């Protein structure tokens, strides 16, 4: 795991440093606070923070808050929590809105130098002038306004003199460019909407393509890592960075220096990589928002959700998400990652990290008739079969136990090696029991009456007697009643976004994705703190629910089964 990662981005960074094109590495992770982060963002976080860490550099967390209508402080808080939870920390926490004054001064510079103009066309007219992939666009009739007139109009836009949508500031590039992003893209639009950070200070807001690259330059970012859909925007990114030239224009940064923000501005380089997509899932904030708003899931942190809050509540350890990011790797090839890869990462991390406990989630009573009514003893169990550092614990044992319904078959099928009438099975850590009698209520089996072969108890001469099946159990006298939430994949088709069948992703929700049952857990399982991850032997990995678990009212979520039950 500590071998140097060799993807193309790290190779670029390595050679930039080796050949002296950069002295240091500065990256950033720039989420828009318009929703919760999801598993795709984990890939971007692991990359930008990871590259900075590996090369002795720094990474900023920048909230890309240029679109006030959709952004909330709630999301800003959750994003910070999620990045920390994933195991990363930022050098600086910034908001794109911290730079509004700089963006504005830079826009005045572009206007003065003839690189931008105020356009009076409506949004619809602008669209109409833009052209298509095969046809060039047409110049706006306002394109040849003088710098003086443009500067006056821009200042009046900033002063709030014009109505929403009445004017835009546009870059003067090339309406015939083969790259539509370069056909005089908007820089500022008028939007009299209060902003979560700047209140009503601004009646105009910068566009993403303008604000993003300048934010990178202000912060001295060296390598600006983003997903492939921005590849066609890179010429525009470079155009703004070069024309504004923050590194060579310290006067534009004066408003920040007054506020104690004094980064050395850079000429950043944008590098694109492919997004993470997971099958049986969606990774779009907008669609995840719809699931929440329509009540199709129980909120952003519903354990079925691929949000970081959901994955956390489900019990996925952050190390499993970092392992996933490593496994998937970084490339320019778009591909879909199988959900089982994530589950495999969770199993691998949890197998090493989770203590073992006994629990029964579909209970059937088993009475050991040859033990006295009041028999009670403490058995010593190792907490981890492969790691002694986990220590041991006492597990109470008594005459009446719960076992899983599944571990008994009245009419056993061929190859069934667990308990059957007249048959024998090993009770984990106890010894071998024989089923003498099956108590029924109509069709339903209500109790098994068994004898324990006392010669097979630990330390006895027959303790190693060979027998095919071993099953788990809890003492009915001591076990605690627990709510157990069994989770599975959110969607029941690999590509819920595929509209070929005329259905949307909402129609492909997996009705089996959440099942709540009552089970029994050994006392030491109930005692754990919320968010403790355990393996319930033979059942899977579980976590004590972050919000609802308490020792008096235990609640466990299943993270993942022990084996891949979806594999065929």
Q: Which residues bind ligand ATP (CB under 6 A)?
A: 30-32, 40-41, 43-44, 226-227, 275-276, 283-286
Whether the CB-CB separation of 402 and 363 falls below 8 Å is answered with: yes
Based on the residue annotation, tell me whether 468 is a catalytic residue of this protein.
no
Based on the residue annotation, tell me whether 125 is a catalytic residue of this protein.
no
Residue whose Cβ sits closest to ligand ATP: 40
Q: What are phi and psi of 4, to 5 degrees?
A: -60, 135
CB of 227 to ligand ATP, least distance (A): 3
Closest by CA to 473, choosing from 349, 326, 365, 344, is 365
Distances from the Cα of 478 to the Cαs of 99, 122, 267, 377, 482, in angstroms?
61, 73, 66, 11, 13
Whether the CB-CB separation of 545 and 313 falls below 8 Å is answered with: yes
Whether the CB-CB separation of 203 and 160 falls below 8 Å is answered with: yes
Q: Which is the catalytic residue, given 62, 145, 183, 285?
A: 285
Closest by CA to 57, choosing from 186, 221, 250, is 221
CB of 350 to ligand ATP, least distance (A): 24
User: What is d(CA 197, CA 116) in angstroms, rounded to the nearest whole number?
Assistant: 27
Known binding residue 540? Answer is no
Based on the residue annotation, tell me whether 32 is a catalytic residue of this protein.
yes
Whether the CB-CB separation of 501 and 509 falls below 8 Å is answered with: no
How many Cα atoms within 13 Å fall on the side-chain side of residue 488? Answer: 15
Q: Nearer Cβ to ligand ATP, position 118 or 225? A: 225
In the chain, the largest separation of any two C-alpha atoms, in whole Å, equals 101
SS3 71: coil
Known binding residue 233? Answer is no
Q: Which two tokens stand for residue 38?
A: 């999801």
Known binding residue 34? Answer is yes
CB of 169 to ligand ATP, least distance (A): 23
Known binding residue 42? Answer is yes
Known binding residue 115? Answer is no
Q: Which two tokens stand for residue 202?
A: 């601004």
CB of 39 to ligand ATP, least distance (A): 7
User: What is d(CA 485, CA 496) in angstroms, rounded to the nearest whole number?
Assistant: 24
Q: Which is the catalytic residue, given 191, 275, 365, 428?
A: 275
CB of 165 to ligand ATP, least distance (A): 23
Known binding residue 208? Answer is yes
CA R_g for the chain:
31
Q: Nearer Cβ to ligand ATP, position 139 or 284? A: 284
CB of 225 to ligand ATP, least distance (A): 7
Known binding residue 227? Answer is yes
Q: Nearer Cβ to ligand ATP, position 7 or 32? A: 32
Q: Nearer Cβ to ligand ATP, position 44 or 107? A: 44
Beta carbons within 10 angstroms of residue 394's beta carbon: 13
User: What is d(CA 230, CA 161) in angstroms, rounded to the nearest whole number?
Assistant: 34
Q: Nearer Cβ to ligand ATP, position 63 or 175? A: 63
CB of 209 to ligand ATP, least distance (A): 13
Q: What DSSP designation does 556 have?
A: E
- Which residues fall within 8 angstroms of residue 500, CB to CB, at 6 or more apart? none
Distances from the Cα of 486 to the Cαs of 280, 483, 513, 521, in angstroms?
17, 10, 8, 15
Known binding residue 32? Answer is yes
Q: Nearer Cβ to ligand ATP, position 215 or 283? A: 283
Q: Nearer Cβ to ligand ATP, position 284 or 532? A: 284
Task: Please give the annotated binding residues for ATP, written as ranges.
Answer: 32-34, 38-44, 227, 275-276
- Residue positions forming the annotated binding site for L-glutamine: 64, 208
Q: Give the catalytic positions in this structure.
A: 32, 275, 285
């Amino acid at each position: 795991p500590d071998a140097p990662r060799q993807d193309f981005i790290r190779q670029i960074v390595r050679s930039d440093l080796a050949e002296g094109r950069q002295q240091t590495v500065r990256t950033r992770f720039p989420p828009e606070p318009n929703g919760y982060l999801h598993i795709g963002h984990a890939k971007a976080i692991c990359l930008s923070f990871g590259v900075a860490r590996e090369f002795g550099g720094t990474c900023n967390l920048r909230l890309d808050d240029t679109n006030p209508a959709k952004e909330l402080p709630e999301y800003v808080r959750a994003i910070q929590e999620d990045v920390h939870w994933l195991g990363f920390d930022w050098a600086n926490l910034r908001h794109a809105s911290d730079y509004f004054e700089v963006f504005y001064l830079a826009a005045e510079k572009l206007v003065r130098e003839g690189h931008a103009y105020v356009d009076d066309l409506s949004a619809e007219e602008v669209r109409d002038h833009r052209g298509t992939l095969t046809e060039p666009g047409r110049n706006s009739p306002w394109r040849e306004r003088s710098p003086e007139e443009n500067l006056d109009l821009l200042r009046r836009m900033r002063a709030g003199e014009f109505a929403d949508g009445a004017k835009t500031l546009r870059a003067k590039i090339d309406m015939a460019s083969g790259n539509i992003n370069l056909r005089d893209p908007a820089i500022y639009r008028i939007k009299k909407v209060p902003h979560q950070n700047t209140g009503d200070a601004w009646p105009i807001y910068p566009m993403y393509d303008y604000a993003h690259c300048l934010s990178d330059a202000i912060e001295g970012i060296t390598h600006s890592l983003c997903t492939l859909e921005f590849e066609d925007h890179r010429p525009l990114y470079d155009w703004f960075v070069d024309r504004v030239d923050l590194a060579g224009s310290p006067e534009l940064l004066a408003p920040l220096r007054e506020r104690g923000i004094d980064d050395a501005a850079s000429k950043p380089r944008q590098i694109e990589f492919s997004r993470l997509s997971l099958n049986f899932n969606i990774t779009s904030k907008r669609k995840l928002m719809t699931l929440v708003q329509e009540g199709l899931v129980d909120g952003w942190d519903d354990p079925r959700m691929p949000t970081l809050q959901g994955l956390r509540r489900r019990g996925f350890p952050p190390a499993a998400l970092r392992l996933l990011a490593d496994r998937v790797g970084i490339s320019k090839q778009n591909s879909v990652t199988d959900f089982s890869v994530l589950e495999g990462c969770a199993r691998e991390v949890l197998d090493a990290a989770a203590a073992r406990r006994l629990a029964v989630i579909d209970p059937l009573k088993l009475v050991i008739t040859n033990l006295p009514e009041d028999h009670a003893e403490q058995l010593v169990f190792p907490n981890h079969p492969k790691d002694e550092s986990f220590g041991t614990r006492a597990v109470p044992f008594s005459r009446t136990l719960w076992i899983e319904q599944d571990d008994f078959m009245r009419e056993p099928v061929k190859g069934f090696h667990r308990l059957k009438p007249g048959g024998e099975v090993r009770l984990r850590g106890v010894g071998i029991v024989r089923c003498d009698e099956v108590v029924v209520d109509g069709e339903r089996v209500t109790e098994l009456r068994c004898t324990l072969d006392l010669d097979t108890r630990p330390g006895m001469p027959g303790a190693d007697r060979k027998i095919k099946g071993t099953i788990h159990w809890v003492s009915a006298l001591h076990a605690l009643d627990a709510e157990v939430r069994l989770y599975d994949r959110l969607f029941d088709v690999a590509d819920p976004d595929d509209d070929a069948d005329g259905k949307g992703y909402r129609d492909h929700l997996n009705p089996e994705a959440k099942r709540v049952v009552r089970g029994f857990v050994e006392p030491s399982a109930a005692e754990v703190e919320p968010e403790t991850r355990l393996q319930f032997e033979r059942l899977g990995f579980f976590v004590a629910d972050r919000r609802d678990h308490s020792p008096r009212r235990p609640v466990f979520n299943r993270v993942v089964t022990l084996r891949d039950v979806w594999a065929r």
